[in-house]
Amino acid sequence: MNIVFFSPREGLLPNAIDLLEHKLTQLEGTLAELPMRVLACRPDLLLLAGLEPGDALLEVIETINAALPATAIVLICSTPEPGFLMRAMRAGIREVISSDAPAVIASVIGRAQSRLHVTRASQAPPGRCIGFMPATGGDGCTCVMANLGAEIAKSPGLRVLLIDLSLPFGNVELFLTNESAAHDLADFSDEIERLDGALLEVMTHHLAPNMHLIHAPESLSQLLHVTPAYVERLIRIALHHYDYLLIDMGLDAISLRVLELLDQLVVVSTASLPSVRRASQITRLWESLGYAAAKLSLVVNRMGNSPQVQLGDIEKAVGLKVSRVLPEESDQMEESLLKGVATILLKPRSGFAKAIAAMAAQLTGQPVTEKSIWHRLGIK
């Protein structure tokens, strides 16, 4: 079992863990460093010690739990307050223990291992489902989603499925390929009763060996075949065959049905007043539906040197911290559309490509890898 022990300083690792036959990684750092370092390890069990029990810790736990829902998170805290215990469980902490005695730690690991065996014995756990919603039309949400999918798919071990739910007429494919597809979302709805992994493999548009796409319907008559219930079933099936589902969506009945299936919703805005206003409305809608705030993130796209609204004002208006800023590079986007090639592949050294790479690394927990000058020159 993959166990990670995180503490703010050396000397807090319980001696009992050293003798157990598991993969053990000890990490030291600040609370702010916790999410990225843990996501890179993707542990089965995360043990936390020496951290101040409070709201700041719980916010970090919610972030980790949203990214790694299968990870058992255990907090070692000698004197937790009763109120904190309830909030800790809601945030995603599996257990709070007051002692790091060998017998206690061994018991915690035993319970985590039992849960892991049950999970692995059953059907493979589903992948992550991430929705992308533009604040307003023209904010570049589809471009962001398409390029992020292409960036994730650069990891050979990860299977990525892009679903175009920007109805009635989506255009995800324009940012990735010039090839037409044999099937679209309406065809999947027609085959929903017999849909399985093999049929998914045949019907999806293969943009790369590990990156597939389901196109939006091309006509309104085809759109009549697509219902919220059919789309929900499609997503639930696909989650068992792909590591990441990226969904381009809007604010229609179908997309609203999909919201409850998401592990994360990324709102893509620009630094313009209309976009910021609509992003704040989406945030309030998300909260009114009772979804966890930790699953909502804000990306500011096409950020120029003289934005209408500054980042601090955007965060204040929307009520969210900006998780990523993507620079304005319109010439590269136009070239990408003309050639049908993702911008991150066409211009891998651009500021946009680097920002997308960092976004993918944060999402998957895999570090950003920079090729050396020798690799770029073709010298090994």
Given its phi and psi angles, is residue 40 left (phi above 0), alpha (psi -120 to 50 degrees) or beta?
alpha
Q: Which residues contact 57 (CB under 8 A, 6 or more apart)?
A: 31, 51
Spatial CA neighbour of 147 closest among 176, 182, 118: 176
Is the domain of 111 the same as that of 11? yes
- Check residues 109 and 131 and name the one with the higher pLDDT: 131
Last residue of a domain, one of 62, 95, 121: 121
pLDDT at 373 over 60: no
| Domain ranges, residue 89 | 2-121
Is the domain of 132 the same as that of 45? no
User: pTM of this prediction?
Assistant: 0.65
pLDDT at residue 259 in the model = 92
Strands (E), the chain: 2-7, 23-28, 45-49, 72-76, 95-97, 128-134, 160-165, 205-208, 211-214, 244-249, 264-269, 296-303, 322-327
pLDDT at residue 114 in the model = 76
CATH number, domain of 303, equals 3.40.50.300
Is the domain of 87 the same as that of 160? no
d(CA 227, CA 215): 15
pLDDT at 247 over 70: yes
pLDDT at residue 120 in the model = 54
Largest CA-CA distance found in the chain, in angstroms, rounded: 66
Q: Which residues contact 92 (CB under 8 A, 6 or more apart)?
A: 61, 62, 64, 65, 66, 69, 73
Is the domain of 177 the same as that of 75? no
pLDDT at residue 380 in the model = 41
Tell me the DSSP string of 234-263.
HHHHHTTT-SEEEEEE-SSHHHHHHGGG-S
Is the domain of 97 the same as that of 51? yes
Is the domain of 217 the same as that of 265? yes
d(CA 348, CA 210): 19
Q: How many structural domains does the chain have?
A: 2
- DSSP helix/strand/coil, 297: strand
pLDDT at 274 over 50: yes
Q: What pLDDT digit, counting tens, does each position of 50-102 carry? A: 898 888 999 999 989 888 888 899 999 887 777 888 888 888 898 889 888 88
Is the domain of 191 the same as that of 91? no
Q: Which residues contact 376 (CB under 8 A, 6 or more apart)?
A: none
Is the domain of 79 the same as that of 184? no
Is the domain of 45 the same as that of 98? yes
pLDDT at residue 109 in the model = 87
pLDDT at 42 over 90: no
pLDDT at 273 over 80: yes
Q: Which residues contact 228 (CB under 8 A, 6 or more apart)?
A: 253, 254, 256, 257, 258
Last residue of a domain, one of 121, 152, 168: 121
Is the domain of 263 the same as that of 219? yes
Is the domain of 53 the same as that of 177? no
Q: What pLDDT digit, counting tens, does each position of 167-182 carry? A: 888 899 999 999 988 8
Name residue, tokens 């700041």. Answer: 56
Is the domain of 117 the same as that of 135? no
Q: What pLDDT digit, counting tens, does each position of 283-335 carry? A: 999 998 888 888 999 999 989 888 888 999 999 999 999 999 999 887 788 88
CATH number, domain of 98, equals 3.40.50.2300
Last residue of a domain, one of 51, 86, 121: 121
Determine contact, residues 92/35, Cβ cutoff 8 Å: no
Spatial CA neighbour of 251 closest among 128, 135, 97, 127: 135
pLDDT at residue 374 in the model = 46
Written as six digits, the tokens of 51 are 């951290």
Mean pLDDT of 156-165: 93
pLDDT at residue 125 in the model = 53
